[in-house]
Amino acid sequence: MKNIKVLWSIIILLLVIVLGVGYQFVTGSVLTAKDGRTAIVLTKGERNFVLTEMRGLLSHMQQLISAAADKDIDRTIKIAKLLTEDSKGETQVSIIAKTPLAFKKLSTNIHTQFGELYADAVTKRDTDHSLKQVSIIMQNCIACHGAYQLVESDK
C-alpha cells in the first residue's frame, strides 16, 4: 500500500512538472506593455542578444534588396545564405522558453522563408523573384514588431 502511495505521489509530481513546462512553452514569460503590446521578459544579456540579431537582420535585408535591385544574383545568393545563418543564433533555449507560442511560430516562419529565399535564389537565379520574397518575408517583421516588445527583468 505504502509503495502505491509513493508511486502515485511521483506520478502526480511528474504530471505537474509536464503541465508546467507545457504551460511555459505556450505562454512564455510575458507582461502587458504600456502601449498594449505583449512584453517578453528577458535578462539583459538575452535582450541584447536578440536586439543585436535584429540589427544584423535589418542590415542583411538592406544588402539583399540592394543586390537584387542591381540584378546581381551571386551577391543575392551570398546574402540570402547569411540570412539563413543569422537565424541559427536564435536557437538559444533559454530565450525560446520565454517567448509565447505565437512568437515562436512567427520566428519559425521567417526562418523557413529565409531557407526558401536562399534555395530559390540558387535554383531560379531570378533577382525579381528574390525581391518579391523579401517583401513577403518583411510581413513577419511587421507582424512581430506590432505585437511584441522586449523588456529586461529586474535581475
Q: Find out whether 45 and 155 touch, Cβ atoms under 8 Å.
A: no
**What minimum distance in Å lies between the beta carbon of 10 and ligand HEC?**
38
CB of 39 to ligand HEC, least distance (A): 8
First to last CA, the chain: 46
Residue burial 106-126, b: 16+ Cβ < 10 Å; e: rest: bbeebbebbeebbebbeeeee
Identity of the residue, 4 or 142, whose beta carbon is nearer to ligand HEC in the bound complex: 142
The smaller minimum CB distance to ligand HEC, of residues 77 and 117, is found at 117
| Binding interface with ligand HEC (CB under 6 A) | 51, 54-55, 57-58, 61, 103, 106-107, 110, 137-138, 140-141, 144-145, 148-150
Nearer CB in complex with ligand HEC: 98/127: 98
Task: CB nearer to ligand HEC: give 118 or 148.
Answer: 148
* CA dihedral angle for residue 106, residue 109, residue 111, residue 116, rounded to 10 degrees: -150
CB of 116 to ligand HEC, least distance (A): 14
In terms of Cβ atoms closer than 10 Å to its own Cβ (0-12, 13-18, 19+), residue 5 is: exposed
Nearest distance from C-beta of residue 36 to ligand HEC, angstroms: 12
